[in-house]
Amino acid sequence: MSKIKIGVIGVGSISECHIESYKKNPDVELYAFCDINEETLKLKGERHGITRLYTNLDEMLALKEIDAVSVCTWNSEHKSCTIAALKAGKHVLCEKPMSVSKADAEEMQKVAEENGKLLMIGFVRRYGNDCRIVKDFIEADSLGDLYYAKATYLRRNGNPGGWFGDKSRSGGGPLIDLGVHVIDLVRYLMGNPKPVSVYGATFKKLDNRPHIKGKQGYKSIGAGSKDICDVEDLATALIRFDNGAVLSIEASFSLNIKKDEGTIELFGTKGGAKLSPELEIYNETNNYLTNMSFDADTTMGFDQIFEREINHFVDCVQGKAECIAPACDGIELMGILDAVYESARTGHEVIL
């Protein structure tokens, strides 16, 4: 079987995880790159030995030999790039968030169906060891009925700058950038219950802290002193699902806490689980409260998780696997994000 030829649309920071993972897959030929920044495009091409470099998306998509693409642009371009690729007959792996609105996400799925192509969403946390092990416990009914969850993705001083702080390109701040990861992982572990109501709040109090002289978190390619920052720096929400379960979520770029933290907690009638990032299980054994840790490695670096995600995408394109991160899940998540921002705007609960 000939190798699958892959194009990458947008060669900024996150694309590196896609590119390196594609290079490790024996069934893939990394074929072409596209980006509006010619300097960045040239540097990426030189780094990875890619000579088919395009600043015009239509020119790259006109290459009939390309089978599939990764869309790694800023959020506001996910829809247009994905739809263009689907209409050109390419399968698509679109980075999270799927788009900047549920309406955009629905249109993307419609085009995928009309053209008979795979549209997979980059919910990379689904591929971690911690996720796999927790799902084993859930499927064995070891945690019972999951009725409450808490998820945090908090940075003390971690506004990435660049397009991340520009709402016209990002669609929002930490909620749409970081919160999307943990909201999706909780829904996935719970069996993808349907959201029915959302109460949310957002705050813009600390901005991107340009005056801070100390350590700063992850910075995006293109971040600079003249960056726009018109997104929230903290978002919080309470999400209720159709099975009665509730999720409490917090996500921040800037927050006065001691250190960055990212934790997911699941609470069930038979046990609980905490991913922080090490996995622990809490339950009852012989009428005693017990805590369980693991000899197995429950943590993975992002590079390893991306490699699993890319391998799954390639398997799906080849017809070897059924996609575990389909567009319909991206649509539901965009509905949640829309509702949080709407609730924050109005000060009222949003019924979905």
Q: What is the pLDDT of residues 72-124, one digit of tens each?
A: 999 999 999 999 999 999 999 999 999 999 999 999 999 999 999 999 999 99
pLDDT of residue 86: 98
For the chain, what percent of residues have pLDDT higher than 90? 89
Return mean pLDDT, the chain: 95
Q: How far is CA 302 from CA 21, 217, 317, 350, in A?
A: 11, 16, 22, 34
pLDDT exceeds cutoff 70 at 1: no
pLDDT exceeds cutoff 90 at 301: no
Looking at 3.30.300.30, 3.30.360.10, 3.30.200.20, 3.40.50.1980, the CATH number of the domain 127-304+333-351 comes to 3.30.360.10
Average pLDDT on 31-59 reads 97
In this structure, which topology does domain 4-125+315-321 adopt according to CATH? Answer: Rossmann fold (3.40.50)
For the chain, give every residue range classified as CATH 3.40.50.720. Answer: 4-125+315-321
What is the distance in angstroms between the CA of the first residue and the CA of the last residue of the chain? 46
Rg (CA), the chain: 20
Average pLDDT on 40-50 reads 97
Average pLDDT on 175-203 reads 98
pLDDT exceeds cutoff 70 at 127: yes
pLDDT exceeds cutoff 80 at 217: no
pLDDT exceeds cutoff 80 at 192: yes
For the chain, what percent of residues have pLDDT higher than 70? 99
pLDDT of residue 113: 98
pLDDT in tens, 256-283: 999 999 999 999 999 999 998 899 999 9
CA distance linking residue 339 with residue 336, whole number of Å: 5
Which of 34, 298, 343, 69 lies closest to 199, judged by CA? 343
For the chain, give every residue range classified as CATH 3.30.360.10. Answer: 127-304+333-351
